[in-house]
Structure 1
Amino acid sequence: MFLHKIDEELSLKLLELKDSERVFEITNQSREYLREWLPWLDDTTKLEDTKGFINMSLKGFAENKSVNTVIMYKGQIVGVAGYNQINWSNKTAYIGYWLEEEYQGNGIMTRVARALTDYAFNELKLDKVEIKVAVENKKSRGIPERLGFVNEGCIRQAEWVYDHYVDHIVYGMLAEDWNK
């Protein structure tokens, strides 16, 4: 079991099947809001879809390839964040995240991304953390920017989101820069 306490209000807990109803509920509550940037919402229309994602996440965790967690804010699940992929050969983790709409603007995701970055470097002993964000997603881009990540460039047409491509900015942080 993975449980990482960030502060008195916030912690990250490994996704478990018992979380499926709440994760599906907050997905539904924020569906229109999240749909602007996340391409998987049309494939998550029933509880079984969320359970499938959780089972895939647990398999990735067991194989040491990813770590997907629920964001616990004041004891309540409010989003999902983690390492979508860990590339052990290159010692790189790729962070992904989303947050229920009503919890936006409270600094939650910046604290989560800081904790995941710190954990990647100081516990997992990785060398690099990357966060990829749609160019037009200003709120999400603010997170790596506030944390001092370097804008390493733009990947054109990086992702198909329902009916159009979006470009991604790749933000990177190296262990040597983080721990200065």
Structure 2
Amino acid sequence: MFVHKVDENLSLKLIELNDAERIFELTDQSRSYLREWLPWVDGTTKVEDSQEFIKICLKGYAENKSMNTVILFDGEIVGVAGFNSINWSNKTVQIGYWLAEGYQGKGIMTKTAKALTDYAFSRLHLNKVEIRAAVGNQKSRSVPARLGFVEEGIIRQAEWLYDHYTDHVVYGILANEWKEKQGKQ
């Protein structure tokens, strides 16, 4: 099983079916908070919905097309993050993430995104990492900005969010840029 220790308090673990209850619990507890930017929240009404999500994640992992992890903070699942899609032909990956409301503001997501970016470049030998976020989602947008990603542009009406379209900002960083930034730290 994949487990990646980020620091003494933070680890990433490959998502498993036995994580479904906790993931659903976090979704349910943070429902109104998560719903503002995530289109799947209303469709997640029972533990079985989280189980179906995990099955899709595990299928993507088995097919080498994605890798989703649970975020463990002090040993407890507090969110989900990973590679939503891996494009081996173009050597690119898209990182996606969400964190339960009560765990915001602790640097968890920035450390998580940094660890995933490091992993994409050092272990998977990819060339580009992208993070996309809704234009108005300042908390999510601040993560790639803090990590030195380049704001590459806006995809208009990129996502249907319950009753309206939302534009997405695309952030990207290349392997050579990441290596240079890490060398300066």
TM-score, scaled to structure 2: 0.97
Helix, strand or coil at the partner of 1:89 = coil
Matched, 1:164 2:177: no
In structure 1, the residue matched to 2:115 is 115
**Shift of the alpha carbon at 1:27?**
0.5
For residues 35-92 of structure 1, what are the alpha-carbon distances to aligned partners after superposition, in whole Å with 9 as ceiling and x for unaligned? 0000001111111110000011001001100000000000000000000000000000
Helix, strand or coil at the partner of 2:89 = coil
**Shift of the alpha carbon at 1:159?**
0.3
Matched, 1:28 2:28: yes
**Shift of the alpha carbon at 1:106?**
0.6
In structure 2, the residue matched to 1:71 is 71
Q: Which whole-Å CA distance do the structure 1 matches of 2:137 and 2:18 have between them?
A: 31
**Shift of the alpha carbon at 1:154?**
0.4
In structure 1, the residue matched to 2:183 is none
Task: Give 2:124's aligned amino acid.
Answer: L
**Shift of the alpha carbon at 1:171?**
0.1
Helix, strand or coil at the partner of 1:179 = helix
Helix, strand or coil at the partner of 1:43 = coil
Q: Which whole-Å CA distance do the structure 2 matches of 1:143 and 1:51 have between them?
A: 28
Q: Which whole-Å CA distance do the structure 2 matches of 1:140 and 1:173 have between them?
A: 16
In structure 2, the residue matched to 1:60 is 60
Equivalent pairs counted in the alignment come to 180
Task: Give 2:93's aligned amino acid.
Answer: A
**Shift of the alpha carbon at 1:32?**
0.3
In structure 2, the residue matched to 1:82 is 82
For residues 73-119 of structure 1, what are the alpha-carbon distances to aligned partners after superposition, in whole Å with 9 as ceiling and x for unaligned? 00000000000000000000100000000000110000000000000
Task: Give 1:174's aligned amino acid.
Answer: L
For residues 115-172 of structure 1, what are the alpha-carbon distances to aligned partners after superposition, in whole Å with 9 as ceiling and x for unaligned? 0000000010000000000000011100000000000000010000000011000000
**Shift of the alpha carbon at 1:2?**
1.1
In structure 1, the residue matched to 2:51 is 51
Helix, strand or coil at the partner of 1:144 = helix
Counting only pairs closer than 5 Å after superposition, residues 133-172 of structure 1 correspond to structure 2 as 133-172=133-172
Q: Which whole-Å CA distance do the structure 2 matches of 1:25 and 1:48 have between them?
A: 12
**Gaps spanning 5+ residues in structure 2: where?**
181-185
Helix, strand or coil at the partner of 1:23 = helix
Task: Give 2:127's aligned amino acid.
Answer: D
Q: Which whole-Å CA distance do the structure 2 matches of 1:122 and 1:130 have between them?
A: 16
Helix, strand or coil at the partner of 2:56 = helix
CA root-mean-square deviation: 0.4
Helix, strand or coil at the partner of 2:42 = helix
